[in-house]
Amino acid sequence: MLVSALRATRLAAFCFLLTLCSGAFGFQQNGHGAADERVTIVPRVRPAAAPDSSELPRPDLRVDVPLVLIPVHVTTPLGTSVTNLNQEHFRLFEDDVEQEIKVFAKEDAPLSVGLLFDSSGSMRNKIRKASEAAAAFFRTANAEDEFFLIEFNERPKLAVPFTRDSDEIYRHIVRARPMGRTSLLDAIHLALVQMKNASNLRKAIVIFSDGGDNRSRYTEAEIQSAMLESDVQLYAMGIFEAEDPRKLTPEERKGPRLLGELADETGGRHFPVENLNDLPEVCARIGAELRNQYLLAYCPTNGARDGKYRHVKVKLNAPESMPPLRAHHRQGYFAPVQ
């Protein structure tokens, strides 16, 4: 009980510091959508429900930051999580200029997670194992996590808004009936809109899909830009098992590259899965990785409000007893504008 209380106190203190120092993270509608709308990074009260998914407004995401938050996951060359590092083992750079780490934590902070579940026709023979994988992911959750579910085929649909009831999410997943084409990029966009309602600082999108987009109205470039401008990590399970590889569509062939690029840019990870039996294990691994992240925060030395993209790099000073380590983190953010 004492250990749990101390742990909760440290986490509360960390979140309090972020609340004091953080600026606002916002969505601004451009000419494609409705009027401008602002939200904050730490909602005291849950905002109103997001617009109907059929509207699909197009946001330009911008970060207003005296403090930048960087979740970092550290792995060995074999992909094993490293959880015993301290602040002195990290160096943080913005546009090649070293920054002072103001806040460091390695607590299992609550998560806001959007699950994107592909129910298109190309998933017909994969849907059962994908639902088992979702169950494995939920077994890694803690009581303060919240989730929403987006199902997508011809169009994305918000099946379940934010909830802490993972059983409700799972019930919808097992009832999915694969049909139609794949609007993966539109689903990612809708997930970014839903993240406006997140209650937690740490946010992630987890995708169950073969990655073969052939229906979206949004382009790869638009979604890559939106992900780069967001503070949301993307994890993806690319389910690429095919009964006959010669029958893969061009979109399915592009799937691994698309999911891999989006994951790398946001500090998440992409796990290509060629054997459906591996899905539950891979999904449990994603859940574990989200639980074993370091949280770094810094105040940028560059105070210009120029709207430019700032590159972020985390370097590791690993103990000599350890093998070479890799830090997975988002690659940068957009500065605020006047």
pLDDT at 242: 61
* Residues 6 or more apart whose Cβ sits within 8 Å of residue 206: 113, 114, 115, 116, 137, 235, 236, 237, 283, 286
Query: pLDDT of 201-251, one tens digit each?
Result: 899 999 999 767 888 999 989 998 898 888 899 999 988 766 566 666 676
Range(s) of the domain holding residue 287: 1-338
Q: Nearest CA to 89 among 264, 266, 294?
A: 294
Percentage of the chain modeled with pLDDT above 90: 57
Q: Is the predicted pLDDT of residue 48 greater than 60, yes or no?
A: no
pLDDT at 12: 53
158 φ/ψ angles, rounded to the nearest 5 degrees: -75, 100
Measured distance CA(147)–CA(165) in Å, rounded: 8
DSSP state of 120: S
Residues 61 and 227: beta-carbon distance below 8 Å: no
pLDDT band at 46 (very low <50, low <70, confident <90, very high): very low
Instruction: Assign residue 15 the CATH number of its domain.
Output: 3.40.50.410
Q: Nearest CA to 196 among 53, 18, 335, 26?
A: 26
Q: Tally the domains of the chain.
A: 1
